[in-house]
């Protein structure tokens, strides 16, 4: 059985904030414009204001000795989202694993990575990811 949790809302909100901070207008692919509406240039390029977007992930097997995964953004990038996924194994349960921390890693007031920590129920595979973009 697979247990999936993420910070989707934080990712969407973070992306919108970065887009707006960069002078663009937030645009959503599933939004339909009214008939006759001419999209502005900012809406045609929904990535305005966000550069260097990348997703980095790592998968580790957690057991009684390992119960934390940390991923850092590349130099010059900041984290604006992240999350994790747990897969059970023959010797462990995804549903019995308790996640105690799923949050950004901070340095000098900036989010620069993502940390997932918890108490595994046997051996489980944990995949953690961080969504990063250029700091400026």
Interval 95-134: pLDDT, tens: 999 999 999 999 999 999 999 999 999 999 999 999 999 9
CA dihedral sign, ordered 6, 77, 27, 10: positive
- Whether 42 is covered by a domain: the verdict is no
- Whether 51 is covered by a domain: the verdict is yes
CB 52 within 8 A of CB 131: no
* pTM exceeds 0.95: no
- Whether 93 is covered by a domain: the verdict is yes
User: How far apart are alpha carbons 67 and 116 in whole angstroms?
Assistant: 8
- Whether 35 is covered by a domain: the verdict is no
Bridge partners (DSSP) of residue 78 are 133
Is the pLDDT at 16 greater than 70? The verdict is: no
For the chain, what is the domain count? Answer: 1
- Whether 14 is covered by a domain: the verdict is yes
Question: Residue 20's domain spans which residues?
Answer: 2-27+47-134
């Amino acid at each position: 059985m697979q247990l999936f949790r993420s910070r989707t809302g934080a990712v969407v909100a973070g992306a919108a904030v970065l887009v707006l901070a960069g002078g663009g207008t937030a645009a959503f692919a599933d939004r339909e414009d009214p008939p006759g509406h001419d999209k502005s240039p900012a809406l045609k390029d929904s990535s305005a204001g966000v550069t260097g977007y990348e997703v980095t992930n790592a998968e580790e097997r957690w057991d009684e000795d390992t119960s934390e995964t940390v991923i850092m953004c590349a130099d010059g990038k900041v984290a604006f989202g992240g999350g994790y996924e747990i897969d059970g194994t023959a010797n462990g349960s995804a549903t019995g694993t308790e996640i105690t921390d799923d949050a950004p890693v901070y340095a000098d007031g900036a989010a620069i990575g993502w940390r997932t920590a918890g108490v595994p129920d046997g051996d489980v595979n944990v995949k953690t990811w961080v969504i990063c973009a250029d700091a400026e």
